[in-house]
Amino acid sequence: MPMSSSTPTPLSAPVPAPAAGPSGTGTRLAVSDGLLSLLRTTTTEPRPDEQLEALTLAVAADLPVLLWGEPGIGKTAALTQLAASLGLPLTTVIASVHEPSDFSGLPVLGDDPAVRGVPMAPPQWAVELARAGRGLLFLDELSTATPAVQAALLRVVLERRVGALRLPPGVRIVAAANPPASAADGWELSPPLANRFVHLHWTHDREVVVRGLGGVWPRAELPRLVPERLPEAVAFARRAVCGFLTVRPTLIHRLPGTEARRGGAWPSPRSWEAALTLLAFATAAGVSREVLALLVRGAVGDGPGLELLAHLDRMDLPDPESLLADPAAAELPARGDLRQAALEAVVAAVGARPERARWEAGWAVLVRALETGAPDLLVAPAKALAALRRDDWEVPEAVERLAGVVGLARRADRSVERVAASGTGPAAGVRR
């Protein structure tokens, strides 16, 4: 795309020679500055970007975020663009070039330290953030900070305190780090510091890079939270996380066994609280499953995060009793794995309270599934449902229809075969 609307100089026109001497040097630098200004002039556009959407949602949720990525991948540029899009002043602090006292505060003796104590004076960047009342604090090169500096950062990241100064609520914290293998004199993150962050792995997208170098980058926008959905979102997040940890209590706190994994995302009560917050924000904003997966795995780790996502899928399944109550109006999930799980739940509900009317309603649900989805998912549930038949129950017409379309092995079960062979019931004329 064109970078400037100015008219180029014709090739035949003579180009005036720059003036000699100091004034000529200044003119040439001014022209260079003009060219640099054109190169740095870019714009933004709304564009789907799962990484950027996950980052923006975590920032909106006021959770510290740590971007992991190789050098030159664009972490700093993403944070600069994020701050500009959100209208927040950006304060960059290179963690690796600071001393612990730059974060814990410098002791300053007052008139009577024995009575008034020794206050810990914050550095200038913290004072400016406090004066502004809002901003984006960018802690760069975190993986090259010494263990002593990492220890000093604990209160900054979690309690938002720098020395005796508390950062205002309008300040958000984002950090960036290179993997230890590619960091200059890198250190593994200490487990206490790592557990305070939501970890996002930053990678480059070819289309985003190409279009960005052309002058148009994706725009970071705060999630649009629906006010009416806020109480529902909080209730859902609490029910989901608490329900999951009730059945998986060993995942409430699990410190990884290796030093490298301790420097990433892992489950603890603190990180589960972050996951609950992210789930509530994601639900209220209606983000995609891919964005939610990035956030949840970034809070509690890949394994626990994937298990929580599977638990959310099971929570979204329709109530089997509702399906049995009105099979003709049954709404089944579109995803194949969820649809099969819903049908298996219907069969399990019939097995838990086997009654003829419920058994026939189960077949009606399978017919509904046949009408609205792929027939191959019905084989296993149909066989299991047929096995629940009592000898005095007549086989409903639905069995014949399902047997013809799905090709149920041996009429879905031997019990159906016996009825068909006896010549009693609608299934008697079904072809073998």
- Tens place of pLDDT for every residue, the chain, 432 residues? 443 333 333 434 444 545 555 556 778 889 999 999 999 888 888 888 899 999 999 999 999 999 998 888 888 888 888 888 888 999 999 988 888 888 887 777 666 666 666 677 788 899 999 999 999 999 998 888 888 999 999 989 988 999 888 999 999 999 999 887 665 566 888 999 999 999 999 988 888 889 888 988 888 888 889 888 899 999 999 999 999 999 899 999 999 989 889 999 999 999 999 999 999 999 999 999 999 999 999 999 999 999 999 889 888 788 889 999 998 888 888 888 788 888 988 998 999 999 999 999 999 999 898 888 877 788 888 888 988 988 888 888 777 777 766 554 444 445 555 555 555 544 444 333
Cα 140 to Cα 152: distance, rounded to the nearest angstrom: 15
**Residue type at 22?**
P
**Residue type at 316?**
D
Instruction: Classify residue 20 as exposed, middle or buried by CB count within 10 Å of its CB (0-12, 13-18, 19+).
Output: exposed
pTM over the 0.85 mark: no
Q: Which one, of 268, 231, 265, lies nearest residue 54 by Cα?
A: 265
The answer to whether the CB of 76 falls within 8 A of the CB of 140 is yes
Cα 102 to Cα 100: distance, rounded to the nearest angstrom: 5
The gap from C-alpha 344 to its chain's centroid, in whole angstroms, comes to: 29
Right CATH for 44-105+120-218 from 3.40.1190.20, 3.40.50.300, 3.40.640.10, 3.40.50.10260: 3.40.50.300
If residue 106 lies in a helix (H) or strand (E), which one and from where to where? Answer: strand 106-107
- The SS3 call for residue 10 is coil
Task: Tell me the Ramachandran region of residue 62: left when phi exceeds 0, alpha when psi lies from -120 to 50, beta otherwise.
Answer: left
Cα 184 to Cα 262: distance, rounded to the nearest angstrom: 20
If residue 43 lies in a helix (H) or strand (E), which one and from where to where? Answer: strand 43-45
- Give me the torsion for CA of 333, 336, 340, 343, rounded to 10°: 30
Indicate the angle between helix axes 50-60 and 269-285, nearest 10 degrees. 110
